[in-house]
Amino acid sequence: MYLYRYLDMQLNEYMNKKVTAVTKRIVFLGGGTGGVIGALTLAEAKKKHGLDLEITVINKDEWHYMPPLWMDVAIEGLPIEKTRAPIKNLEKYGVKVIVNEATKVNPDERNVELADGSKVEYDYLFLTLGLRNGWEAYPGLADEGYHNYDPDAAQEFHKALMAFKGGKVTILVPEVPFRCGIYPIEFATVLGYKLKVLGIDAKITLLSPKMPNGMDITWGLGPDIRKLWGKYMAKFNIEVKLHDGLERIDKEKKVVVTRNYEEPYDLLVKVPPPRPPKVLEDPVFLFEHDKRFVKARPRDFRHPEYDDIFSTGEHSMPPVGLGTAGVFVHAATSKAVNILLEELYGVGEVHEFTPVACVAYSGDKGFLGVCEVEFNGQMYTWQKCYNVMESFAMKFVKRSFYQGWLDKLRI
Ligand SMILES: Cc1cc2nc3c(=O)[nH]c(=O)nc-3n(C[C@H](O)[C@H](O)[C@H](O)COP(=O)(O)OP(=O)(O)OC[C@H]3O[C@@H](n4cnc5c(N)ncnc54)[C@H](O)[C@@H]3O)c2cc1C
């Protein structure tokens, strides 16, 4: 009996060693904020601990972009090259890069199908695909207006702004949440400043969905940051109008038609309705309570039915209680990667979210905002947000931070 148990234990130990000795294939689908930070975190752990890992990033185009800089493209004319770096340069960190579009994820077969018909097998998959601009959600929205939610559009926007002679600028937020939780207000104040510098006579109106207690989209940011925005809205004479839902854009009449009023425009600036990446538009992945997003378990960002899939892209932030912004994607991906490193090799540095900091523009200045979030055992919950520091220097801090991020892939 004892001999049998001894042999059984030896066999188990041998099998375990064999299992851990097998190379683990970890694939990041999407080489944006989440994919890059996740792959680099794993690559560092691999080097430090000598782990037997194969790390792959699949990205549909050859560039890794830093979207916050597209505001500088649209308003200041920053060259698009300054907002991106070649994704292939991740290879110098020991990460395999595949530049191709994913067309299907097969969780039961543990593979991802690519546009060229090939398949990439994985042991663990991270979904870091960001959100899609869902212009098709409202009639007329795709064909009218300017935005800077993709690189080409940001450049078009700059040309339109330089040709703008003045009049009515309408900034339309069709629905909440939207990509990057503070963007429309940040953009409105920066545009207000730019138009003033250019000496263009314009009136900016921000159309916000009506939030609880009859408030606007600054509702979730807390009184301190609302006060800061309020100061700039007043300074640049930006009016905020609440709407009960967008119906359509009437291109002929140049009006935004909402359920409770029609708003004219000379220059329309639009914020995209958030929609899931096409490749995840499948009940297996869609969050059943709000199909604009992709499901994830708040505890560890895993798919509820597939333990080998983590979903930490912007598409999965609202389902876990976090905001749609790069700072949350960054924190979520770091946590999930460390959970995996701990489970596989006992080397993860798993930590809960510390307050999440974000540097943003405010008119002619910039500020450092902090949001405290807490995991209550079920979900992440907002505690409070506040403005830590506001100054001209913060504008440069923001630019330097993003350029420094891209420099990791520029060598
Ligand atoms: C104008 C703007 C300003 C912003 N400002 C801020 C800010 O100040 N602070 C902040 O924290 N956040 C900001 N954000 C939000 C931030 O950029 C995103 O939250 C973050 O980039 C999301 O990370 P992600 O990894 O989920 O997706 P992304 O960074 O969007 O990357 C997704 C990647 O997946 C690739 N991809 C998509 N589909 C496929 C496919 N089928 N196959 C292969 N590859 C695919 C894309 O090419 C892309 O590289 C801003 C966003 C925008 C658009």
Based on the domain organization, do 126 and 141 belong to the same domain? no
Q: Residue 326: CA atoms inside 13 Å, Cβ hemisphere, count?
A: 18
Among candidate residues 320, 352, 384, the one where a domain is terminated: 352
Pairing status of strand 132-133 against strand 274-275: antiparallel
Kindly give the interhelix angle for 222-235 and 183-198, rounded to the nearest 10 degrees: 20
Best mutation site among 98, 101, 178, 179 for ligand 1, i.e. most ligand atoms within 8 A of its Cβ?
179
- Å from CA of 321 to ligand 1 middle: 18
Average pLDDT over residues 192-205: 98
Shared domain check, 237 and 215:
yes
Neighbours of 33 (CB within 10 A): 26
pLDDT digits (tens, 9 = 90+) for 323-337: 999 999 999 999 999
CA-proximal residue: ligand 1, atom 24 (nearest): 130
Token pair, residue 143, equals 């064909």
| Mean pLDDT, residues 256-274 | 98
Q: Based on the fold, state whether residues 104 and 161 are members of the same structural domain.
A: no
CATH number for the domain including 300? 3.50.50.60
Tell which of 223, 238, 273 closes a domain. Answer: 273
pLDDT bracket for residue 196 (50, 70, 90): very high
> Phi and psi (nearest 5°) for 50?
60, 45
Instruction: Look at residue 212 in the predicted model and tell me its pLDDT.
Output: 87
Please tell me whether residues 146 and 252 are part of one structural domain: yes
Tell me which of 245, 273, 301 is where a domain ends: 273
Same domain, 212 and 142: yes
| Same domain (yes/no): 144, 70 | no
**Can you read off the two tokens belonging to residue 346?**
């006992």
Per-residue exposure over 296-335, b if at least 16 CB sit within 10 Å of its own CB, e if not? bbbebbbbeebeebbbbbbbbbbbbbbbbbbbbbbbbbbb
Same domain, 65 and 157: no
The answer to whether residue 399 is domain-embedded is no
Q: Is residue 82 part of a domain?
A: yes
How many domains is the chain built from? 2
Please return the burial class of 2, using the count of CB atoms within 10 Å of its CB with bins 0-12, 13-18 and 19+: exposed
114 shares a domain with 34 = yes
Q: Do the domain assignments include residue 336?
A: yes
Query: Within this chain, do residues 26 and 76 fall inside the same structural domain, yes or no?
Result: yes
Q: What is the pLDDT of residue 352?
A: 84
What tens digit of pLDDT does each residue of 1-54 get? Answer: 444 444 455 555 545 544 445 999 999 999 999 999 999 999 999 999 999 999
pLDDT of residue 182 exceeding 70: yes
Residue 359 Cβ contacting ligand 1 at under 6 Å: no
3-state secondary structure of 86: strand
**390, part of any domain:** no
Q: What is the mean pLDDT of the chain?
A: 94
Question: Are both 100 and 193 inside the same structural domain?
Answer: no
28 CB contacts (<8 Å, ≥6 apart)? 34, 35, 38, 39, 55, 56, 57, 58, 126, 128
Q: Is residue 387 part of a domain?
A: no
Residue 4 lies inside a defined structural domain of this protein: no
State residue 220's pLDDT score. Answer: 85
Measured between alpha carbons, how far is 20 from 35 in angstroms, rounded to an integer? 24
What is the domain range of residue 60? Answer: 22-131+276-352
Confidence of residue 181 (pLDDT cuts 50, 70, 90): confident
Q: Is 318 in the pocket of ligand 1 (CB under 6 A)?
A: no
Alpha-carbon distance of 318 to 310, in angstroms, equals 15
**Does residue 185 lie within any of the structural domains?**
yes
Specify if 30 maps to a domain: yes
Q: Do 50 and 149 fall within a single domain? A: no
Both 223 and 309 in a single domain?
A: no
